[in-house]
Structure 1
């Protein structure tokens, strides 16, 4: 765990799926409804956990490929998936333990907060509202907010601009290599939680400034950085 960042932290950008909320149940329920409507085989929740984090298009294309469906079904799959997810959003998900405490710590430290996710903005805002997390954030940006998605650095740079903070003073907190790669390219320090999805790969093997087993521990990292 790094004890210092390049600059004092003034703001934090937090990922959503796998970082704040365990949304695997929502994804699975919506995909199952989509697949059934298309007459396609079922898919296990454990399988789709490796598809999460790179945006809805990636999730749907990987799911269709896994069940052996032709790529030409994608437009129908998109339509059915979005209809299902709008009804399901938040019903089969839960806020990870320690998240509310971690957010409270970040706010108490005077940091401005943004949620930045590859999830469509409509669903991101709805989920944060449903879980009572929305009031903590100064801004929420989904995967459709900018021209490119994480791991491209553009969404982080645009979010830093919206927060009014320099990238070096804006901490990225996520659960995957996508978050870390975007942060590194944007010049943001980055912490990764160990309980998320990370495309099914060990998150501690990702280049980051540190790892958190619970977001509740973020205060200790900030305090250590201030002492360094």
Structure 2
């Protein structure tokens, strides 16, 4: 397997932009929310640059763009509720698994590596999406952005998983597509691996200086 996996006992994967391309469904929910507020649709291209910091930030960025100003807290909460409503209706219609993902997850599990998921997406969406995409059996644990008091780029979710499985951070790897994943991994003492095809606010993820970059997770096999 990939040299970065030497002595690794636990791997924490990001979800959106790393394992799956979820933007088509996220953008549909964002545009439906904006329509509820009589605002113009944002579209997939814009949403790709807004994803990565959780649903509240996604909605805040969409409102900022649609209004041309910062939304007040009450409006943001109303809009967030509408976004969640629409996303709940269809969280996995056009979402797809990236090439190489299934092969990588299968290979890690076959080698008894503990495979986990750490995403800033709300926890309620994780199981339905993983099940719909036939990925649910690979993960020993999943954490959403609302599972703990802190979310990425804070290291708490990663340290929580390392402690839960009694694995030293030095023997753990964080795999993601954004600077927030790399930062969380570094702060937790994990090794870090990045993919360049995901959502990183329009910036090359290599600029965050992960320990390694792979074009496809199939390279881990």
Runs of 4+, deviation exceeding 3 Å: 2-5
5 Å-filtered alignment, 1:20-99, equals: 20-68=19-67, 70-71=71-72, 72-99=74-101
Whole-angstrom CA distance in 1 between matches of 2:177 and 2:29: 22
Q: 1:36 to 1:140 in 2, by over 3 A?
A: same
- Count how many residue pairs are aligned between Structure 1 and Structure 2: 217
Tell me how far apart the structure 2 counterparts of residues 4 and 90 of structure 1 sit (CA, whole Å): 32
Q: TM-score, normalised by structure 1?
A: 0.91
Q: CA deviation at 1:163?
A: 2.6
Structure 2: tracts of 5 or more residues without a match: none
Correspondence for 2:198: 196
Partner of 2:178: 176
- Aligned with 1:157 (options 159, 175, 178): 159
Q: Equivalent residue of 1:64, what SS? A: helix
Aligned-residue offset at 1:198: 1.1
Q: Distance in 1 between matches of 2:26 and 2:61?
A: 13
Residue number in structure 1 paired with 2:137: 135
Provide the rounded CA distance (Å) in 2 between the counterparts of 1:160 and 1:50.
Answer: 30
Match of 2:168 among 166, 173, 186: 166
TM-score when scaled to structure 2? Answer: 0.94
Say if 1:3 and 1:138 are closer, same or farther in 2 by CA, change over 3 A: closer
RMSD, aligned CA: 1.5
Greater shift in the superposed pair: 63-72 or 76-85: 63-72
Segments of structure 1 that go 5 or more residues without pairing to the other structure are: 220-228
Give the superposition deviation at 1:4.
5.4
